[in-house]
Amino acid sequence: MDPNSKYLYASYPNPVANAIGIFTIDPNTGVPTQTSVFSLNVICPFCLPPSGPGELTLSPGGKFLYYASSTLGGGVSQGIGALAVDSAAGTLSFVTGSPFPADQAPFIVRVHPSGQFLYTENLDASGGNILLQSLSAFSVDSSTGALAPVPGSPFVPPVSATIGGLAIHPSGKFLYATSGMEANGILAWNIDGTTGGLTVLTGSPFQVGVAIYSAAFDPSGKFLYATAGPMGGLLGFNVDPNSGALTPIAGSPFSSGSFLGGPTVEPSGRFLFAGDEPNHTVVGFSIDSATGALARLDSPAPLSARPISLTIVKVP
């Protein structure tokens, strides 16, 4: 999604298209209409199928669009795609040097709030468990969008983890990764503001013994919310602004016994939404601004399919 809320981008991985769809958003209705498709070069020609774009992420100013791999790994070197965004027309063009060499396989990608760094969660599915192998960090050239590895990258997690979520604190000081099926809670690192390098945060991992998947911050960075496994509802954490340490919010977990996923906090920080996969609904919660506690709203929104991932688009 373009930060100015005029354009939306969707990845079309192989074997379907290996392209990115470009949509224009109606400023009055918020309805997206596809206007064009931008064809990509293959970022992993030896993958089966050849790997195309997976998760997309925009730099904070909307100047560059990056895409990770749609293939989970298996010992094949891959890359990170980088595109320049025309702010007026929403069109895309290749950043010179794209795709940039990456550690296998850059499945999840996030840009630092400063726009200076980019991080990937590198996965390996060769053993069937979709293991988190490492986190890679890259510096971003502010003029060209080109990527270069930061010193010490890649960074190996201190405990075992599988595919989950990757979230950067709004302050840019901390990075968090969930451990998924390994039930090692939430892993956390300090981010060096000068180099972009990572060091394990004191006390990490947090909430060990719980299978935790996708995670999201409220806009202020005071609270972190995460999916607590198939029937664990949502976990809520207070975030120490100085140390990055996580402590459970009173009453957490919320809506335990529910199969919820993809927590997303809307821009004002007043509400959180999550997908209830078995019941094909989107569930809403109000957020107590002082404590971070969640209170479930009435009348979940029914859907015709299982909701896996949610995002909120703010349209002027």
Return the pLDDT at 307. 46
Shortest CA distance to 294 belongs to which of 244, 250, 230?
250
Low-confidence ranges of the chain (pLDDT < 50): 2, 305-307
Residue holding tokens 């969930």?
178
Specify the 3-state DSSP secondary structure of 161.
coil
Return the pLDDT at 6. 79
- The per-residue b/e assignment along 118-152, b for 16 or more CB within 10 angstroms, e otherwise, is bbbbbbbbeeeebbbbbbbbbbbbeeebbbebbee
- Distance, CA of 3 to CA of 71 (rounded, Å): 27
Neighbours of 84 (CB within 10 A): 17
Structure tokens at 212: 């935790």
- The DSSP secondary structure of 190-231, one letter per residue, reads EE-TTT--EEEPTT-SBSTTS----EEE-TTSSEEEEE-STT
State pLDDT tens for residues 83-138: 999 988 889 999 999 989 888 788 889 999 999 999 998 887 666 668 888 999 99
State pLDDT tens for residues 129-166: 688 889 999 999 999 999 999 999 999 998 988 877 89
What single-letter DSSP state applies at residue 113? T
Return the pLDDT at 263. 84
